[in-house]
Amino acid sequence: MSWLRPLALVGALALAWELAARSGLWSLLIFPSLTSIARELGQFVVRPERLMEAWISLYRALGGFALAAVAGVLLGVLMGRSRLIAGLLDPLFSGTYAVPKIALFPIFIFVFGIGSLSKVALVFLECLYPIVIMTYHGARDVNRVLLWSGRNMGASRAQVMRRIVLPATAPYIFAGFRVALPVALIVVVITEMVSSADGLGYAAIYALASLKTDRMLAVVIVIAALGLALDQALVALRNRLIYWETLETYYV
Amino acid sequence: MAASHRLAGVGLGVHRLAKAVALLFALVVWQLARAAGLPDYILGPIEIAQHFTGALASQELYAHIGASLARALPGFALGTLAGIALGLTAGVSRGVDQTVRPLIFLSYPVPKIVLLPLFMLWFGIGDVSKILIIALACFYPTFINAYYGAKATPTILVWSGLNMGAGRWRIFFNVVVPSAAPLIFAGMRVSLALSFIVMFATEMINARSGLGHLIRDAENSLRFDLMYVSLLSIAILGYLGDRLLRFAGGRLLSWHAEAA
């Protein structure tokens, strides 16, 4: 029921698009009809080399994200539990937070080469910030009473970390992941548009250059679907792991 | 009381000093590593500072900075204004909420930059397509924060307002907007950072001016000095923009404790 209105809006937009495509007012290069977009979309399922482009982008995004998740949670927890490490690293992260890391890409190309490594490295760097900052805030604000009770009842440092700090920080960690995962996809698409010979970002630019607007829009739809599916998968995983606390606001 | 204040002041000074020493130490290590032999494409801090001051003296850098800002700032203004207006509307009107919000939340994790090729086709390869894609990217964080901000307006304030005879519009502007303002402001900070990222990305993909174009041009002609000049410029712009926005926010929202 709650999906009726948004669906109606999408339907109206699609209808308007199709009418614009068929009206003959604009060239089909500018408004390709929905059927030709759907046909190009079908190619993604049928032709293995198209699927390969999607896979390449996905593995770059997830590779950089996974590295950032491991390093970010580790750094964030260390910063949250040690004043010294926080004093050293917090100025570094908060000072460079507003700086667009994407500008490092040309230098990364020289350092890591023009292949996947420079892209994965940039994804790692961009994803690291939200994960570190959210984890740091969560680990710093663990309820002190819980820590005291744990120590008082004889828990070792490792036990306190595993049984109290990590579960208490987990919602923050996932909030950081939720910000970082779309960022990973954005960075991959940008870097592939700027310099690449494969991946979805390249496929979109190449389709535009060869005036295949319908194919380009099919690529756009695939990227959008990928972003949506990754986000939904992350939310499902979060709700399974953090069963004791429901996700209240949709976005942090 | 006074003694503890003085002690806190000393602690803060020591803290700042430690930070400065750590930064200086990192720069010295970097410079020494450069002297010991790093590849050509990694310059030392002294060289970067020299090239940067050299570029500051020439007119070319200002032209690129101006071209970049002429894309980022209109995009930011357009996107945040639309985001705030629609977000607040969705926050107070159930009809708009149920129609528009699901679609916006659903498309939130989609990278908006993929629409750049389509925008280039529709609006040309000039500045319009870039400004519109920046506006689209800036729209989302402000929409979401304005929406939650309006939703979180304390009901008791709205009731009091109604009780004291305020009309719908007065409640909207005098109760809902101020109570959503801190969250809106947090969203604008995210949007400003995004506007610089998307601006740089669009300029790297296709442009004839701007900092993103400068860095691509330098890369293609192996002018490593210019690459670092562009990098440092965008870093300073991003940092200053954020500082300026936070300063303005602290002034405007001085009644709100967390804003600054």
Per-residue model confidence as pLDDT tens digits over B158-202: 899 889 988 888 889 888 998 899 889 989 988 998 899 999 999
Tell me the one-letter amino acid at A31.
F
Question: What is residue A3's three-state secondary structure?
Answer: coil
Task: Give the other-Cβ count within 10 Å of B208's Cβ.
Answer: 10
d(CA B172, CA B179): 10
d(CA B85, CA B135): 14
**Contact residues, A window 181-210, toward B, CB-based 8 Å cutoff:** 181-182, 185-186, 189-190, 193-194, 200-201, 204-205, 207-208
The model's confidence at residue B9, banded by pLDDT at 50, 70 and 90, is low
CA gyration radius, chain B: 23
Is residue B229 pLDDT above 60, yes or no?
yes
What is the ipTM score, two decimals? 0.83
Task: Report long-range pairs for B194-197 (Cβ below 8 Å, ≥24 apart).
Answer: B194/B134, B194/B137, B194/B138, B194/B141, B195/B72, B195/B73, B195/B75, B195/B76, B195/B79, B195/B134, B195/B137, B195/B138, B196/A98, B196/A100, B196/B72, B196/B234, B196/B237, B196/B238, B196/B241, B197/A100, B197/A102, B197/B137
pTM for the model stands at 0.86
Answer for the pair B187, B83: CB distance below 8 angstroms, yes or no: yes
Q: What integer pLDDT is reported at residue B1 of this predicted model? A: 39
- What end-to-end distance do the CA atoms of chain B give, in Å? 25
State whether A189 and B110 contact (CB < 8 Å): no
User: Who has greater pLDDT, B74 or B29?
Assistant: B74
A26 Cβ under 8 Å from any chain B Cβ: no
State whether A213 and B121 contact (CB < 8 Å): yes
Q: What is the mean pLDDT of each run of 10 residues along chain A (252 residues)?
A: 79 88 81 88 85 92 96 94 86 83 89 91 94 92 90 89 90 90 92 89 90 90 90 90 74 46
Tell me the one-letter amino acid at A153.
M
B31-52 mean pLDDT = 84
The model's confidence at residue B259, banded by pLDDT at 50, 70 and 90, is very low
* Closest CA of chain B from A60, distance in Å: 15
d(CA B50, CA B158): 58
DSSP letters spanning A130-147 = HHHHHHHHHHHT--HHHH
Q: What integer pLDDT is reported at residue B95 of this predicted model? A: 87
Is residue B11 pLDDT above 90, yes or no?
no
Is residue B257 pLDDT above 70, yes or no?
no
Q: For Cα atoms A195, A205, B70, give the angle at the middle one, nearest 5 degrees.
A: 80
d(CA A145, CA A205): 55
Q: Please give the structure tokens belonging to residue B174.
A: 């005098």
Per-residue pLDDT tens for A63-77? 999 999 999 999 999
d(CA A226, CA A228): 5
The burial class, CB within 10 Å (0-12 / 13-18 / 19+), for B72 is buried
* Closest CA of chain A from B207, distance in Å: 12
Only one residue has tokens 């307006």, namely: B153
Answer for the pair A204, B114: CB distance below 8 angstroms, yes or no: yes
The model's confidence at residue B8, banded by pLDDT at 50, 70 and 90, is low
Return the CATH number of the domain spanning residue range A31-241: 1.10.3720.10
Is residue B12 pLDDT above 90, yes or no?
no
Q: What integer pLDDT is reported at residue A249 of this predicted model? A: 55
Per-residue pLDDT tens for B112-126? 888 888 898 889 888
Contact partners, residue B89, CB within 8 Å, separation at least 6: B96
Give the H/E segment covering residue A11.
helix A4-23
Q: What integer pLDDT is reported at residue B258 of this predicted model? A: 54
Average pLDDT, chain B: 86
Is residue B151 pLDDT above 70, yes or no?
yes
Interface with B, mutate which of A58, A107, A188 (most B CBs under 10 A): A107
